[in-house]
């Protein structure tokens, strides 16, 4: 066996997707086992990948393209092993949220089921920071997160930290009525806990929307998610000028 045959065998068994494409004919000339596995499970066309980072099969990859001789191009997807957990609260960060979100999104699309996306904000969180300290305020945030986690379904719902005072919540297979009941239950649980354990009243405000999943491409799903979050943030900001401690479903 010659050296190039050894190299091909090694590359073929790497856990890094690699494909070689003829740029003129747009045909695949070669791909390793990992690339074939991803193509079979996701039905992805590697030539359609445009952004630097892409999520496939719940794994984050960095896209690299290398131009070879005779109009051939190698596409390499290098796994990125970054933390998906927020260090301060032990919740998923946004990157971790999206990986689970994309997986559940695809499942619900196949099942033709809706889901709810909600933004949950701790009211007057800045006053907690000013009254105590940032560290103590984060401890309170952590306590609230434990309450919220205990009230949702761990396998099909997602809770993550969105920013210093907000959570992002995904509720699977819910309609508007069920979403309203769940969010009101969360709001009541936080209030009851704070009345019992804190020397002050602490409330949460929630804005949510119901989604019928319809997309397949990771980039489109991410773009849709970002647009939904922007709308929720705008609604939250607008409603906060009028009141606090509310649940709104748009």
Give pLDDT, residue 166: 94
Per the prediction, the chain carries an average pLDDT of: 87
Q: What is the pLDDT of residues 177-224, one digit of tens each?
A: 999 999 999 999 998 988 887 777 889 999 999 999 999 888 899 999
Stretches in the chain below the pLDDT threshold 70: 1-4, 50-55, 57-58, 81-82
Give pLDDT, residue 127: 84
Give pLDDT, residue 231: 95
Residue 140 dihedral angles phi and psi, to the nearest 5°: -65, -45
Give pLDDT, residue 53: 65
Give the predicted TM-score (pTM) of the model: 0.68
CA distance 67 to 75: 9
């Amino acid at each position: 066996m010659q050296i190039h045959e050894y190299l091909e065998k090694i590359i073929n068994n790497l856990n890094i997707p690699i494909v070689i494409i003829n740029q003129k004919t747009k045909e695949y000339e070669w791909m390793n086992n990992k690339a074939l596995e991803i193509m079979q499970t996701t039905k992805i066309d590697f030539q359609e990948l445009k952004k630097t980072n892409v999520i496939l099969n719940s794994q984050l990859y960095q896209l690299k393209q290398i131009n070879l001789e005779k109009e051939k191009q190698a596409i390499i997807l290098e796994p990125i092993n970054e933390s998906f957990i927020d260090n301060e609260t032990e919740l998923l960060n946004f990157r971790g949220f999206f990986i689970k979100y994309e997986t559940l999104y695809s499942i619900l699309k196949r099942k033709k089921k809706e889901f709810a996306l909600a933004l949950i904000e701790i009211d007057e969180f800045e006053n907690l920071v000013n009254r105590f300290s940032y560290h103590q305020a984060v401890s309170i945030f952590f306590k609230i997160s434990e309450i919220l986690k205990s009230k949702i379904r761990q396998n099909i719902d997602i809770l993550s930290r969105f920013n210093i005072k907000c959570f992002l919540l995904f509720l699977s297979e819910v309609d508007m009525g069920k979403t309203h009941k769940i969010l009101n239950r969360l709001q009541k649980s936080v209030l009851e806990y704070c009345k019992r354990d804190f020397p002050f009243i602490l409330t949460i405000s929630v804005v949510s929307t119901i989604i019928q999943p319809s997309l397949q491409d990771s980039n489109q799903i991410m773009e849709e998610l970002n647009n939904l979050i922007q709308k929720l943030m705008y609604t939250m900001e607008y409603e906060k000028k009028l009141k606090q401690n509310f649940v709104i479903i748009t």
